[in-house]
A and B are shown apart, each in its own frame.
Chain A
Amino acid sequence: MKLALGPVLYYWDKDTLLKFYDDIAETPVEIVYLGETVCSRRHTLRTDDWFDLAERLAQAGKEVVLSTQALLESESDLKTLRKLAANGRFMVEANDMGAVRLLAGAAPFALGPHINIYNPRTLHYLAALGARRWVAPLEMSHQSLQAMQRQRPKGMETEVFAYGRMPLAFSARCFTARHHNLPKDDCQFRCLDYPDGLTLRTREGRPFLALNGIQTQSAGVYNLIYELADMRGLGVNVARISPQAHHTGKIIRLFRDCLEGELAPQAAADQMVRLMPGHACDGFWHGRPGLEQVGQGRP
């Protein structure tokens, strides 16, 4: 099973992003997804900067995939999408059916976690259009994935979001700007202040969600470190780690060590406690509410 680094879901300044990817080049991930998937106002890296970065990571031996924005609203969003779809060099991860339209029959592509693929017939249809890899929906359970795997199209790789705060929803509204009483069009890029998202708590202080601009994430960190053997058994090809502001390299290495049998999942999970921006959860994998921790290591 390969390890992939998902796209950075937060807004970091340019130096931080470039430094982050310099470090990533040295980590044992095989696949790196790049690009702005959340908000078109974020622009520390322009599309051409992402292309340059992609080239550098490819030279460092990574398989680079360019991820498209999930919620497309404006003509300029579509313009960026067209540029990515026609790049001719790197595979593209479609995160909207608009991207699928542009990629169908034109180039092999990946289906990101924001394309709704819940059944084999849908996956087969998209495979025939050129999809080569799909990321299961976040809420898909082990059991449903097993049924998908039994009827998986030939040559289709399966990827599972295995680590990170989960991108659960998108809105036209920017919740970070709302928190600061700013209009979205004049948000003053406040997302820069929240490199792991802005934690939202219930009125009794329980961390619940994380606001990330127009995206709403789980406050809990999805962590399938206990499930790697299970994933392997299901024939999952790729485990995705979602970037966080600190310790991403360490998380990647812990996953790698577990995959290679050099570290027990429990030992890795123990080390991760200090590295995660929130509590662990894995309910979706077990067919339970996503915020629950079901696997070993229940607190």
Chain B
Amino acid sequence: MLPDATMELVCPAGNLPSLKAAVDNGADCVYIGFRDATNARNFPGLNFDEATAREGLRYAHAHETKVLLALNTYPQAENWQRWQSAVDQAAALGVDAVILADVGLMEYASKTYPELRLHLSVQGSATNYEAINFFHERFGIQRAVLPRVLALAQVEQVVNNTPVEIELFGFGGLCVMVEGRCALSSYVTGESPNTCGVCSPAKAVRWQQTPQGLESRLNGVLLDRYEDGENAGYPTLCKGRFEVNGETYYAIEEPASLNAMECLPEMLRIGIKAIKIEGRQRSPAYVAQVTQAWRQAIDACQRAPHDFKVAAAWSEQLSKVAEGRQHTLGAYHRPWK
């Protein structure tokens, strides 16, 4: 193996305690967002203001951990200034990179702060090396996060044809749609990840006990109905049960989350530079558990990739925080498609 073939662990932090949990448990990078629609986890009570971001940076840097700032929603004509200020703020804070999706914002950042490291967000929807190389040539991006749609053989094709570092999702909530190109949430609620940084926003969710069972609705649309004893997860609209040709089933996706830990040796072999953990909306305990398990797994894999096996202890640890839901390899494993 080449000496520079190291793989970074990139962990989510929705607040300071989560950031510290990630740092303390061995994250190489944490990613955070400001407390508004400039990032794709614009949830009430979550994220960082200037003071907490400063404290987070101090803590992370003192422990040799990088801080990445997600500004990965799409500014619009009427609110452009807020996104531009967020880039200014990120540069002034001294974050290690900003994670962007919008072309205009990327142009602004690359022109104004040529030293600022740019990552292409998964929301930038680049699934092929032509798209990634566009962002590299035009704006000098140094890393791209791939949407969760490619099989590993396709990922390898991307890696082999771009100088840009590739980051993959390893664990957490799973988008079944190509990120950055999904308007399902705004179709139902008027708010989408692209424009508002939310999918199936909590304020549009209603739970109601009925004679037919517990119902979850999103802006009035029935997403699912649960019998007694059935596990009712957060009603993300593509993970409900619907009726197609008289058959009721998870027509789009089961309420499963991604766990690609067993793919680590393959990801290392094809040259993946970073593994991303989803879940800025999750608790510090989740961040601690997941970071710890993945730190051990990545270290073990880098030490001896050919002997790598997912340890039972790691799986147990991950299952605990994944709330007993199913796990899937998602698109990395071709039959999933």
Contact = CB atoms under 8 A, between A and B. Distances in A.
Contact of A73 (B105, B150, B180): B150
A75 B150 CA distance: 12
Nearest to A98: B130
A2 to B, nearest CB: 24
A71 B178 contact: yes
Contacts, number: 219
Nearest to A220: B187
Contacts of A290: 183, 186-188, 190
Contacts of A116: 74, 101-103, 125, 180-181, 194
Interface string B281-303: 00000000000000000000000
A46 to B, nearest CB: 21
B104 interface: yes
A25 interface: no
Contact of B248 (A99, A114, A199, A203): A203
Interface string B96-120: 0000011111011000000000000
Contact of B78 (A78, A147, A218, A289): A147
A70 B180 CA distance: 12
Contact of A151 (B77, B189, B192, B251): B77
Interface stretch (A176-184, A227-235, A270-278): A176-184
Given A98-B128, A168-B183, A185 B245 contact: no
A138 B183 contact: yes
B331 A179 contact: no
A171 B177 contact: yes
B75 A118 contact: yes
A169 B337 contact: no
B221 interface: yes
B187 A171 contact: no
Contacts of B150: 73, 172
A117 B74 CA distance: 8
Nearest to B247: A179
B52 interface: no
Contact of B149 (A71, A122, A198, A201): A71
Nearest to B120: A97
12 contacts: A71-B149, A73-B128, A98-B126, A119-B77, A119-B80, A119-B102, A147-B78, A169-B184, A170-B182, A184-B337, A216-B184, A283-B190
The 6 closest A-B pairs by CB, nearest first: A121-B104, A98-B130, A147-B77, A172-B149, A122-B104, A101-B134
Interface of A: 70-75, 77-78, 81, 96-102, 104, 114, 116-126, 137-139, 143-144, 147-148, 150-151, 166, 168-175, 178-179, 183-185, 198-206, 208-209, 211, 216, 218, 283-284, 287-291
